[in-house]
Amino acid sequence: MKIGFIGLGIMGRPMSLNLLKAGYELVVFDHHEDTIAELVAAGAKAANSGREIAQECDTIITMLPNSPHVRAAVLGEDGVVEGAKEGTCVIDMSSIDPTESKAIGAELAKKNMDMMDCPVSGGEPKAIDGTLSVMCGGKKELFDKYYEMLMVMAGSVVYVGELGSGNVAKLANQMVVAINIAAVSEALTFAKKAGTDPELVYQAIRGGLAGSTVMDAKAPMMLDGNYKPGFRVELHIKDLTNALNAAHAISAPAPLTAQLMETMQFLRAEGCEKEDHASIVKFYEKLSGASVVKNT
């Protein structure tokens, strides 16, 4: 299977490398020439636009920052739609507004093309080792067709429902992750303020009901003062913006998500938008006047 891949950023680059390692033929496009060069060295073929990719591939993956970027890559000038044949399938693995997934899919349907929305969770580490969680929306027969290919990049690939459902699941995921990081931050700063070692508190509670994948991923970063991004604050702001917009459109109250949006706006105001979202703890450290970082 020859696959087109558009978007070779922090997630797309390792995802595409895993496809190459699995033996898939890949044609890639990105605006960063150094990343394209790396993929070409690994065995991919370079293209100059989405249109060129679509002329060679009838399966095209997009992994881009947000809804406008996906729309431009697929429907814009020199985009996929300009070079695509009938029956081409666009698999958007970006995290975007589910209503936009449906809108782009409707435009492609006019050209007898298909679309799936298959956003991912797990951040850069899981993209590198090929254990991402993939949430899929679209026709069930397309999910069945592409399941094995998606599993090359993933530890789990789950069908959620019609087009747009994948991004609904991803936004729900991002709501839970943000709120969970905040809960860990609040608990560790509470422990520090109470005079108890937050690292020992973490070790004491991680095996019980309070334990979670988020806690195990982010508490050690907080305790080390390590905010090297696996998933940047600015990207989580984007996801929560989409979540709140989607929630408001269907009158689904999301008060905790709204609170976390304001917490992340504080981080952006503090110049932390490029840091990992574990830096949510900085908000609680500011409020409490206590740092959870070891030896402080």
- Count of CA atoms in the C-beta half-sphere (13 A) of 2: 12
- The reply to whether 293 falls in a domain is no
Helical residues (DSSP H) of the chain, grouped into ranges: 12-21, 33-41, 50-56, 67-75, 80-83, 98-109, 123-129, 140-151, 165-193, 198-205, 213-224, 233-249, 255-269, 281-288
Q: What is the DSSP letter of 59?
A: E
Q: Is 137 in the same domain as 7? A: yes
d(C-alpha 111, C-alpha 276), whole Å = 40
Where in the sequence is the domain holding 88, given as residue range(s)?
A: 2-163
Answer yes or no: are the C-beta atoms of 281 and 222 closer than 8 Å.
yes
Q: Is 136 in the same domain as 230? A: no
pLDDT of residue 124: 86
Q: Who's near 118: CB < 8 A, 6+ residues apart?
A: 91, 92, 93, 134, 135, 136, 137, 138, 150, 157, 166
Q: Is 111 in the same domain as 206? A: no
Q: What is the DSSP letter of 40?
A: H
- The reply to whether 296 falls in a domain is no
- Final residue before a domain boundary, out of 131, 148, 163: 163
pLDDT tens digit string along 66-105?
999 999 999 999 999 999 999 999 999 999 999 999 999 9
CA 137 to chain CA centroid, nearest Å = 15
- Helix pair angle (233-249, 165-193), 10° resolution: 120
Show contacts of 18-26: CB within 8 Å, 24+ apart: 18/130, 18/152, 18/153, 19/149, 19/152, 19/153, 20/44, 22/152, 24/149, 24/152, 25/1, 26/2
Banded model confidence at residue 136, pLDDT cuts 50, 70, 90: very high
Q: Is 115 in the same domain as 239? A: no
Q: Is 155 in the same domain as 222? A: no
- The reply to whether 242 falls in a domain is yes
How many domains does the structure of the chain reveal? 2
Catalytic (active site) residue 170:
yes
d(C-alpha 111, C-alpha 109), whole Å = 5
d(C-alpha 191, C-alpha 48), whole Å = 54
**pTM as predicted:** 0.89
The pLDDT of 181-193, averaged and rounded, is 98
**Catalytic residue among 170, 192, 238, 282, which?**
170
- Final residue before a domain boundary, out of 111, 128, 163: 163
pLDDT of residue 1: 87
pLDDT tens digit string along 169-186?
999 999 999 999 999 999
d(C-alpha 276, C-alpha 283), whole Å = 13
- The reply to whether 187 falls in a domain is yes
Answer yes or no: are the C-beta atoms of 107 and 136 closer than 8 Å.
no
- Among the residue ranges 90-99, 121-130, 150-159, the one predicted with the least confidence is 121-130
